[in-house]
Amino acid sequence: MKTLREYYGEMGLNETQIFLLNRELSIPNLSNLTKAVHEKRLQSLNQAKSNTWNHGPQMNGESIRNEVQQHHMNTNLWQRHLNPVYQVKGFTIGAARPGKEAAQDYTNINHYTHCTCPSCKSGTRVMGVNNPHDMFPYVEKNNVLMSVKRRNLKNGTIKITPWTFEHLFSLIEGAYTSSEMQLALELLGSIMVRIAFMLDHEENSDGLLRLSLPEMATKEMTHHLPELGEGEWATPIEAVIYFLDILGFNEDIKVDVCGYRNLTREYARGTKPQDNGRTNTLLTISHMLAAVLHRRPIGEFAYGLHRGMGMNAMSRGKINPAYPLLSPDINEYLDKDITELGWSPQ
């Protein structure tokens, strides 16, 4: 039997550090967050849809695909417009436009059946269109694209695949090489929950919302896990987090254009803010991390991911037991056996 207090002691945290991390990361009320952060998410959506991030030239799908395949070693040769957003340790993280769904010949988007745009509401559902605001989140260093998977083929060529959930999951799972990585991954999962609700986004001097990572948690995390990946393709953990933040902006764009207008849905009793988009995407990553840490059942996560067509957001009631440092009162958990929190025995 092991209490949470004893567990954190084994991870190298004394009681003072536990309470300092909890003070920095705690979320007072998870249940009301969707409504509380809606205006901030809407502000970020409108910024992402605007020309704050240049939409770039008109391109077809083949040109966009070939650009990544042919010029992954020199992004200076891209036709697309690169919009740098974050810089960390020599890496640049940003949004390139147009994304594949913004290609001139892309016609795979159908508005949701419950879309309330004028055409859909009048009975003529919008189908077979593109997403003019779609973008390509990227990480690059010295003009070399880092946010891709490179695979050597038998014919001597290299197949380039932009980071997908599968690749990100494998990077994170691959980092779980020893018990000392558990705390780093817990902090990463905790930070992802906060980013899902934009709790660490602040307006910069230009009035644009940008992520400011929690200082103490990030320092402790990078001490144990400074980067993901291996060799020349290793990427700072902060760069991966910033990449996921850009992905969050784009996920809100995707659901907005399909019918969650202004990140809301219309019901019989009124219009309500929704978690679809950024929030559910990043809570899916937090859920995956909890499964990797054996704090949520892997089978439950995998089944939900299948049923949710790639999404399985962590439910509100499961977040604090999996990530106790997010709790508004960590004393509620410290003297509990970790198995009481739903964790598998360590």
- The β-bridge relationship of strands 144-145 and 235-236 is unpaired
Degrees, nearest 5: CA angle 13-213-12:
10
What does the pLDDT look like over 290-325, one tens digit per residue? 999 999 999 999 999 989 988 999 999 999 999 999
Which pLDDT value is given to residue 346? 60
CB burial of residue 38 (10 Å; 0-12, 13-18, 19+): middle
Residues above pLDDT 90, as percent of the chain? 86
Report d(CA 97, CA 77) in Å as an integer: 14
pLDDT per residue over 175-215, tens digit each? 877 777 899 999 999 999 999 999 999 999 988 999 999 99
Contact 305, 311 (CB under 8 A): yes
Q: With beta carbons less than 8 A apart as the criterion, state whether 104 and 143 touch.
A: no
Residue type at 72? H
Residue 327 pLDDT > 70: yes
With tokens 């059946």, the residue in question is 113
Mean residue pLDDT across the chain: 94
In a 3-state reduction of DSSP, which class is residue 158? strand
Separation between Cα atoms, residue 6 and residue 339, nearest integer Å: 13
According to the model, what pLDDT value does residue 170 have? 83
Helix (H, G, I), strand (E, B) or coil at 151: strand
| Residue 276, CA distances (Å) to 98, 209, 269, 311 in order | 22, 19, 19, 10
pTM here is 0.96
As a whole number of angstroms, the distance between CA 207 and CA 47 comes to 10
Tokens of 123: 């009975």
User: What are the residue ranges spanned by the domains of the chain?
Assistant: 4-341
pLDDT tens for 43-53 read 999 999 999 99
Q: Where does 222-341 show beta strands of DSSP type E?
A: 227-228, 235-236, 264-267, 270-273
Q: Among 129-143, 157-171, 277-291, which stretch is predicted with the lowest mean pLDDT?
A: 157-171
Mean pLDDT on 257-265 = 94
pLDDT attached to residue 345: 73
| Unique residue bearing structure tokens 């992402």 | 48
Contact (CB, 8 A) for 274 and 264: yes
